[in-house]
């Protein structure tokens, strides 16, 4: 005889079935996750993730588990991608689903760096920022329009190297900072030490960029930590964030206010900031929201392009000190093409293939941002049969991509010849392993300043190779000092200070450098 069910029993049965189905679906999906290291309850894999040199640690995961690895940091699912193929298929071909950003608790909520376009979610404000970048940095006309500034600043760099060669690191810092402050705000830098703005913000930005990768601090995975009082033992991260918060505010406010005052006085120079302000003024008076977005967009230039440019130039010099044969070969090419009566210009670039190989190898050997800024999966997805949960953090380990021996044989060697058109050690697809298609990021979140940064590195390399001699320094006993490639860890890595002997390669070169700046002889 059939049993009649009352409404309560039916409702409870329905709920039970739904819960069982939900658990079954979740269990089934989790069974299909990519391979990865064993996880602990609650902690996941956070106990394994080091704060320093995360790129080399994550490469070991790739070596063990493959190019797509699943991990959890507390309750945050993460997909570590260590091949160009997987990165392109996810973040470029499926860009509509993989262009978001994680929450970035440390950077956005504690430090308050909400205006920087790299940390922003994929929203209308980010798209507005991207349009401004397109007009001032990305378009072909903008790239060409910036050439005179880059050529002027490299002449100043060469002059400084002639006058004080031992301070080459400081000169390169001035060069990279001056480019960005000039294009961003119309502000000319004469020296790093004497520039109040640079001194004010450097420490704070270093605090943001140092240590762990973007979005990988413990507070990013366990946000409740941000409420810990700064005075508690072990809360040094909170005190550091407060210091960085002041510096980042200064990064955005001080130069913007200076441009605003210059506009009011009628003496403002053309710059990225003035262009953005003029664009907003077409619709009426500047709103407070306009000002916030403009400050953040301009600040993106200084904090992003400046540091990646600095790292790449330092890596170039380090490589040239370590490999005098490569330097000599490049110098012979530049002299053959450019001659000895002028400095290299951007119009020479296509005629200098070996120099191009050197710059390409610089990007591969030690990428400035070894772990790209993480993307976020906006929905559940399936890739290669693996389940990728919604809100997974997608970590692109660019370092691992560039140090895959299957793609780049002898990856630890600095070897420009690997980029020769006649060389076949680049894999089946020659474009797949091209660092220029990788080092600046993937998909819709690719670095908007990539052309400006690449040109800024190239013109320095070309002019130093043309005009200067780079050798190993010698100690008090006259023995050569070979610098080792040691790097500070962080979102942006950079070589530890090293010494070298850099000087004009001839008296003719010295005179040409001085005359190119209108300085005459000294």
Local confidence band at 17 (pLDDT 50, 70, 90 cut-offs):
very low
pLDDT band at 240 (very low <50, low <70, confident <90, very high): confident
Q: What is the reported pLDDT for 210? A: 64
Domains of the chain: 32-516 (1.10.630.10)
The predicted model gives 362-382 an average pLDDT of: 95
C-alpha pair distances (Å), 107 with each of 172, 224, 231, 448, 484: 27, 15, 20, 20, 32
Q: Is residue 327 within 8 Å of 465, Cβ to Cβ?
A: yes
Residues 38-77 pLDDT 10s: 999 999 999 999 988 999 999 999 999 999 999 999 889 9
Q: What pLDDT sits at residue 365?
A: 96
* Pairing relationship of beta strands 393-396 and 76-81 according to DSSP bridges: parallel
pLDDT of 303 = 74
Least confident among 349-353, 360-364, 432-436 = 432-436
The span from the CA of 436 to the CA of 448, in Å, is 13
- Report the pLDDT value the prediction gives residue 252, as an integer from 0 to 100: 86
Quote the pLDDT of residue 28. 44
- Examine the pLDDT at 283 and tell me if it is beyond 70: yes
> What's the CA gap between 434 and 55, in Å, rounded?
19
**Alpha-helix runs per DSSP H in 48-187:** 54-65, 84-91, 124-133, 140-145, 147-163, 168-185
> Average pLDDT, stretch 106-124?
89
The residues, any chain, with a CB within 8 Å of residue 87's CB and separated by 6 or more, are: 81, 396, 401, 438, 442
Quote the Cα angle for 84-420-372, to 5°.
25
Tokens 């943001």 label which residue?
208
- What pLDDT is recorded for position 168? 95
Confidence band, pLDDT 50/70/90 cuts, at residue 132:
very high
Average pLDDT over residues 511-519: 83
Cβ contact 334:462 at 8 Å:
yes
Residue closest to 67 by CA, chosen among 93, 96, 89:
89
**Using CA atoms, how far apart are residues 424 and 433, in angstroms rounded to an integer?**
12
Q: Is the pLDDT of residue 200 over 70?
A: no
Q: Per mean pLDDT, which range of 273-282, 296-305, 363-372 is the poorest?
A: 296-305
Start-to-end CA span in the chain (Å)? 112
Average pLDDT over residues 336-347: 96
pTM for the whole thing? Answer: 0.88
Please compute the mean of the pLDDT values over residues 304-326 and round it to a whole number: 93
Dihedral (CA of 71, 392, 100, 401) sign: positive
pLDDT score for 374: 95
Task: For the chain, give percent helix, strand, coil, nearest 5.
Answer: 55, 10, 35
Weakest-pLDDT range from 76-80, 119-123, 417-421: 417-421
pLDDT of residue 299: 85
pLDDT at 255: 87
- What pLDDT shows up at residue 450? 93
**pLDDT for 214:** 65
How much is the pLDDT for 8? Answer: 57
pLDDT, the chain, mean: 87
Q: Tokens at residue 59, please?
A: 């490469």
pLDDT tier, 31 (very low <50, low <70, confident <90, very high otherwise): low
Q: What residue has token string 């780079």?
A: 470
Q: Which of 64-68, 180-184, 314-318 has the lowest mean pLDDT?
A: 180-184
Digit-coded pLDDT (tens) for 388-447: 999 999 999 999 999 999 999 999 999 999 998 644 344 445 446 789 889 999 999 999
Q: pLDDT value at position 430?
A: 47
Average pLDDT estimate for 248-252 = 84
Task: Give the tens place of pLDDT for each residue, 223-235.
Answer: 888 888 888 887 8
Contacts of 267 (CB under 8 A, 6+ apart): none
Is 4's pLDDT higher than 60? Answer: no
Rounded Cα distance between 141 and 233, Å, is 54
Distance CA 460, CA 72 (A): 42
> What pLDDT shows up at residue 225?
86
Distance of CA 122 to the CA centre of its chain: 18
| CA pair distance 100, 377, nearest whole angstrom | 7
Provide the percentage of residues in the chain whose pLDDT is more than 90. 63
Is 357 within 8 Å of 419 (Cβ atoms)?
A: yes
Structure tokens of 295? 């400050």
- What tokens does 315 get? 């890596």
So what's the pLDDT on residue 3? 46
* 397: helix, strand or coil: strand
pLDDT value, residue 459: 98
pLDDT band at 9, cuts 50/70/90?
Answer: low
- Residue 233 confidence (pLDDT): 84
């Amino acid at each position: 005889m059939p049993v009649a069910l009352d409404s309560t029993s039916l409702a409870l049965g329905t709920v039970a079935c739904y819960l069982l189905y939900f658990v079954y679906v979740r269990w089934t999906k989790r069974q299909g996750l990519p391979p990865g290291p064993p996880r602990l309850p609650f902690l996941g894999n956070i106990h394994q993730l080091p704060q320093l040199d995360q790129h080399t640690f994550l490469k070991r995961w790739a070596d063990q588990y493959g190019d797509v690895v699943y991990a959890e940091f507390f309750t945050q699912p993460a997909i570590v991608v260590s091949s160009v193929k997987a990165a392109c298929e996810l973040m470029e071909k499926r860009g509509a689903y993989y262009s978001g950003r994680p929450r970035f608790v440390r950077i956005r909520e504690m430090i308050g760096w909400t205006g920087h376009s790299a940390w922003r979610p994929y929203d209308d404000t980010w798209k507005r920022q991207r349009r401004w970048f397109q007009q001032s940095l990305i378009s072909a006309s903008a790239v060409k329009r910036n050439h005179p500034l880059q050529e002027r600043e490299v002449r100043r760099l060469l002059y400084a190297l002639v006058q004080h060669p031992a301070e080459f690191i400081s000169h390169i810092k001035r060069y990279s900072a001056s480019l960005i402050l000039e294009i961003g705000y119309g502000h000319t830098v004469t020296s790093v030490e004497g520039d109040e703005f640079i001194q004010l913000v450097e420490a704070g930005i270093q605090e943001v960029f140092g240590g762990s990768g973007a979005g990988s601090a413990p507070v990013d995975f366990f946000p409740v930590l941000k409420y810990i009082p700064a005075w508690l033992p072990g809360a040094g991260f909170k005190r550091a964030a407060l210091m960085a918060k002041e510096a980042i505010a200064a990064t955005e406010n001080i130069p913007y206010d200076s441009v605003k005052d210059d506009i009011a006085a009628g003496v403002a120079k053309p710059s990225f900031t003035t262009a953005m302000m003029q664009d907003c003024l077409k619709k009426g008076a500047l709103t407070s929201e306009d000002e916030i977005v403009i400050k953040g967009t301009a600040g993106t230039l200084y904090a992003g392009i400046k540091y990646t440019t600095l790292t790449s130039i330092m890596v170039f010099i380090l490589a040239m000190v370590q490999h005098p044969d490569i330097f000599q070969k490049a110098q012979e090419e530049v002299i053959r093409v450019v001659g000895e009566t002028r400095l290299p210009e951007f119009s020479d670039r296509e005629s200098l293939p070996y120099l191009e190989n050197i710059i390409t190898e610089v990007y591969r050997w030690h990428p400035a941002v070894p772990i790209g800024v993480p993307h976020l999966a906006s929905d559940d997805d399936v890739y290669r049969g693996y389940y990728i949960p919604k809100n997974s953090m997608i970590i692109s380990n660019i370092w691992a991509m560039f140090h895959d021996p299957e793609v780049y044989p002898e990856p630890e060697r600095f070897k420009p010849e690997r980029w020769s058109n006649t060389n076949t050690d680049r894999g089946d697809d020659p474009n797949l392993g091209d660092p220029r298609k990788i080092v600046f990021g993937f998909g819709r979140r690719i670095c908007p300043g990539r052309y400006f940064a690449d040109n800024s590195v190239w013109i320095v390399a070309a002019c130093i190779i043309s005009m200067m001699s780079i050798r190993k320094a010698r100690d008090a006993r006259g023995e050569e000092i070979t610098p080792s490639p040691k790097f500070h860890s962080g979102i942006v890595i950079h070589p530890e200070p090293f010494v070298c002997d850099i000087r004009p390669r001839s008296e003719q070169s010295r005179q040409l450098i001085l005359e190119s700046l209108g300085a005459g002889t000294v």
